[in-house]
Structure 1
């Protein structure tokens, strides 16, 4: 398995997609400082799963994304892909079958980190599983960055053991053991919970068995009471069915009687209808006779009008004769006037010549005023025509109103007759018994309210009992959960106390303290309280003084000089209280985090912690170290210490480590445990209250069911009685209301007719006034039209006169001659008219002789006789009409009598119907009760027959059973189910407990097996690596010796320490070696591990930096030799190291902040140089 290429895009300074091809076994990366060479190493470590930003030389993971330059925008994501040749199928897991494996990681600006293997999304753990046991990983020995060499050689023994484990390939075993240990811890926790539940379940089983016996007795009594109740309902339903059949028979007989009487009533009504039709016919005959009388009266009026016409005609002819006489006189006068005018013509001719000019001007003015007069005439004619139309409309309205008035009179007569009949019907109605009905309704309302209240209580109890049962179960579950939490806290407390006691009692000091009588003293740590999170810092500052013992006088320890403690031990005597000095750096003192009540201890710790300051983080501490005074130290919460010129990393390295943190945790758990005890007690109290509430609700539910049934029965009986009275009252009230409504309707119609009559009369007067007013306005408008015509004619005449006069003024003489001829013709015309008028006068005299009214007077006498005859006929018809009216009234009274006889029969039928309805409601009620109880009717009927059950005494038997049920007291109805469920649960939990015990044994055996395999593998690996290390070291140093030493007896827990002595040196620790010697030692160790388990490839970042030329040559030879098995990618500034590379990759930064590569094949380059 080897690395073929590294593809970077947007990773740190590699802004553009960059592909590092690695064809050879030795690839060198060269370039100036700061050009991004080490970013390649960071990219490999990052893609293999590194999650700590500081290991990638950054503050956060966002720092690995290209952040942009002055000319480039920041990248939105970072991507790195490693392409491996897996033709040897060295990679493990499901991906080992692929010949090429591409591992890729992508990080976006929003913090989303994604892993891919062969473009398939995977987890970070899947990537790490591929390289388990291969020496590859984010912090494996195959990736050696800047400063890693010195850190390897100076690592703590526990940290150095990790490299050995990776070389041995036990990381897979450790992962399996960790998972197995987690499962084992979970199994033990589950077993503890199951055992707690079993203890509580066994305690509840005895109580449930007793409750189950009571519940069984309760169920037996309840079943008996239910059966008796169903038998009672069944018998009452049967009784109601029998009553229903009997009432139906009686009702049918009553219906037959009613139908017989109804037939008589229908016969009377038929006769009444015949009489009514005859009455209507007689009325029509009276109306026809009345019409004929009106016609005779009209004929009389007509003849009288003719006589008036003859008289008026004679008056008219006589007036015409007078007018003709006057006209004859007028024409005579005109003839005389024409003669006089002829004499005056001479004078007029002179005047015409003088006025010709004036008349022409006046003619023009008159022609301008003429159109206005024509418009006035047209407007006056239009207004006159409109007024004429209005007069006609008023006359038509008067005629319509007269016809409507006659119709109103006829309707008023008919409505008055109907009103009399309705009033008689209302007087015949009997008033209902309102008091009895009101009493029945009051009792029914009370009974229904009681029934509704009982039903509401029953429904509430039916809803609340399951809820209370659920609450009881929830309370039981809460008790179990809180008890389990209490047990967990108790177990945690006991474990911490046991560990704390073990720390206090174990060790070498216990015998010595007992020997000197000091074993009863408490260490200082037991009296110290510090803010959470700062325990490690205080332990790092005080170290062994954390377990110091208090003595009354320090002189007492003088005797211990000859018998010194076998381990570090401190004694103290609290000094008097005093003020602590503040730091000039402004940082918070470590003593400020303490919480002490003893002033002496406060002063002691202030003295011991003098100069000990705190900072939020290591970065802040490093930033503040320049401000430290001599003797001051900055501690962070993790225990690391920073001075002005050093940094010390804290790690637990003694049995006292974690003592203070455990003490504070014990204190916190003790508080939680006390609170949890109260919570558990509250849960148990809630369970007791829930069980009591459930039992009480169950008892009240039984009582509520019985009371609800009784109240429903009483309400049913009252409902039947109230329904009967209500129907009777409703029938009477309905008939009365109907009559009242009819009377109201008749009254309303009469009132409407009266209003119409009054309105018509008022309208008559209004129309008469309107007609007179319209006629008057019409006459006025006609006058205006005549006046307008006159004015127009006058204007036209004046215009024509002026025009004519103007023309005649030009031809004065000729006109006067024409006028003379005209006057002569006028005189002739007058003579002719006088003759014509004389002839017309003769004709008028003849007409006057012809106008005679004798014939009209004779016709008038005949018409008066006809009118008298028709008045007599009308009187006879009126007598016949009155006889029919009396007969109609008698028949109607007989009809009313029969209707009154029908009312008792209807009431009787109503009673039977109510009884039948009551019986039917009883059947429905008891059927509903049986259905609600889901009763088996066949079984109930069979039990009644077999037991010879009678209705009498059955209710008493039911009451006796209910009393026995009540005597049982509070009953847990769910006890049987709970007992069964608890028994099944106990069986299940017993089986689960056995399974958990078996699983624990299996997991413990697995852990032992894993430990044995790991122990054997680590042992053999340690020996092999130690051998290779012993050989590799002299090769690099040219002599000397080196070995690995275990720091403990148990190889699984022991650390690994490096012992190295270069040629000519006898140093006891590697810390005395120089930087170059440490580097060579670390290289020897890493290569020794490679000899055991060569990784697919190795990354070396400026490992040769501290080496001189001689050591670099030996280092280069060793790497070249190992390159036969392992692929190397190294970064170097050393020319000697560069010479061993098969390919060189140059990294440049021509564009500020952006890295690019230039690849050079050394063999090809050497070939190019050979000709020269």
Structure 2
């Protein structure tokens, strides 16, 4: 892969688009000072991803944009493009398939930086990946600018190692290692999260196990309760069945008793019924007698009324006979009048019959003419219809052509509107702002670069986080430890103090002391200070006097003899101390004895006097054996006391033992004092630990806030990058849509033009056809009008004939109707005559009947019948009285039997009530049995299995008690998490999954660590091999460039991955200790030898040299040039020089001039001009 050309536009002094061709392997760039030659080197460095303005000899990245001159305005953007020839396919990655690779970078004034590869927007990292490990890059060894030679040779060992890594091509290994470390870090964080979840899950599992145990117990209790409840239901069902059977038997017995009593009652009712029948028979006879009497009375009344009616009827009949006679005469007169009207109507009927016959004959004659007229009319109608159809067809064709014309016009109008709209849309299409898109891409690159930097800072901060957390945990552990120690001391101190206080306040003597107001007096032990370890001995000697109360005057004690205390009590008053020799003594063998009082540290003289009195002749013994051995040396009345409290005299030994809580008070007080001192010291330690913990928390909090801020920045930058990416994609799509829409509009306009031409042709053809059809329609309409006139005349003749026929038919119908009316009139008159004749006959008959009835109305016979009826009524009244007497007797007997029946009915009611009661009880038992059976059925109980568990001696009360007990036991469990078992199973399953994930993460960490180890090993081997080969090449090239001498590279550390590289060079004849003692030219040659050594190992595609030969003399320059020529076989060189010797080695020379102030241009250069430039430069 070789460099073909460099295209610059708006970059520094190259304001105009400039195509800098690089045709060969050795290309020299010449020109006067300040003409912009080094800007070419800066352009290459910038397009390869340089982001530090100082490396480009500027203060900010915007300084690379042309800033204007005397005659030119500042440029808005800078653009540099490198074109590479990749015919050999040596480029790495996806771009290796292209024969030519163009790498481009643009920058606008608003800071938008954009990278391109073959016209496609890419990231800065994508460009760096292409040249990764090739020696090319913004700060790699293949681009050597002004002053870089001295910087290389004077670099620190750590900085020089970077060039060695680039030569070794380990950049990709470092990148892989960094990615592996990131994955390792993420995996460890995931492992920590999984472990946290596992810890929390284990805690939850413990809770769930407890809840599951409760739930299991709940289910067990509930199962027992269900079983006992089912047994209870089954037992109660059985009891209900038994009760139902018992009640049913009792009910049957009661029904039998009821039936027996009912049978007796039926006998009484039968007799009663017989008596009722007899009563009814007598009553019937009574009623019959009464009926006869009533009938006789009625007949008597009827005869009396009949006699009265005969008299009244004769008068009425005489009146009716007169009226009927008048009515008969009237009907006879009407019959004569109807007969005269019938004769007149028959004459009129003959005339109407003649008129009807005449009208019929005229109508038949007129009807015979109608078929001929109708045929003529139909023929005329057919001709008219055909002509109308031809006219309609012509009109339809004419309308169709008119529609074609309108359609063509509408289409043309629509096409015109669409054409106008498309033209307006074409004119209104906004050209996308490509510069804004480029700015966005540049901003995206800068945001991505900032995001990478923030991610690095975040990673560094996250690496410090565990250390700070460990420090905080250590500080918190120290706080907890010191706090625990403090709490232990405080607990011990409080316990001792409470014991001391309880010993003082409890006991039988406390009420006595309160009674005499002595409970507030100081105790002796509170004033004693004895050497540590002898507290028990002092208590053994003083015994109850250890808690003696101090009074101001011992005279008080005499008042208590009458009211002695209920327990041992000692009172003392301060006394004058004896002389120092008073308690000193010597043994019988002259050996001095040490008084016990010497162990006390007393500042109160009065108290010392009391204790000297109490401790007189009490001496110390170091141990029991020595005291026992020396007891014979004791003076009379003296004793030894040991630390254990044992008292030894000449003739006795008293062993000490604590007999109550009063014992050990001095020891406890001494321990209280010691613990109080320890507590103060421990409190200081705890406070110091808390201070350290607070500082650790503060440091961790500050670091956490820093992490939060960094994460927020990373998140913000990520969001910004995402937003910019979306905006870039959006603008790119807008640009694509603009181009697509513009092309579509052009295509649509061309289609519209073709459619307009086509529709114009259609419209012209339709207009011609429309004129032709219009003429044909005029002719057809003329013919139709003539035919229509003939049709109308024939239709009028037919209508007139039909109207005449209808008039004749109407007249015939009128004549027939008149004839029918005449006949009806005759029939009606005849019926009236018959009616009048019948009425005359009927009235005559009524008149005759009235006369006969009048003759038959006589009153004599009725008077004779009346006397007979009166005699019969007297006999009937006697028979009625006899019947009433018999009825009274039967009624009395009937009442007696009715009372007997009522008594029998009343005796049946208690039995019925008992049966009803039995029925209710049987029904209740049956309902209970059904209820319990239903409950058993609802729970799907196996009654056969339950019956086997149901013992004969098992009672319902026992089962009910068991159910109640189990219910209370379930209630005692409280709130039960019934889902605990499922949750426990789920949690266990999740724990197994997390355990598996934990194992997987642990294995992944081990794998990643192995990968890092493998990468480190490969990197170490590659670096070591590269170091050895570069060192070998460096030691070979150095003598060539210097004509002798020696040089080598030295590792500054044991680990090659971390150690630096130091250059040791000694030109011929020099024994300098460091490279800093060399001259500028020697340093330049040494650095050149080092760079070329790297080139020999890993040749870069091209190398840029910016006045590297400036510090060299002619001899060194010639050696330098020979070296460059040899290396140009593998590497393309583009060098800037003012040296004539260096110019001579170039295959091509390119000149840079600045004829216009501030603007660089490329010019053709010949060797003579180059030589003159070199001479002038050297002279200057």
Is the pair's TM-score, using the shorter chain for normalization, greater than 0.5? no
TM-score (norm 1): 0.38
TM-score (norm 2): 0.38
- Larger Cα Rg: Structure 1 or Structure 2? 2
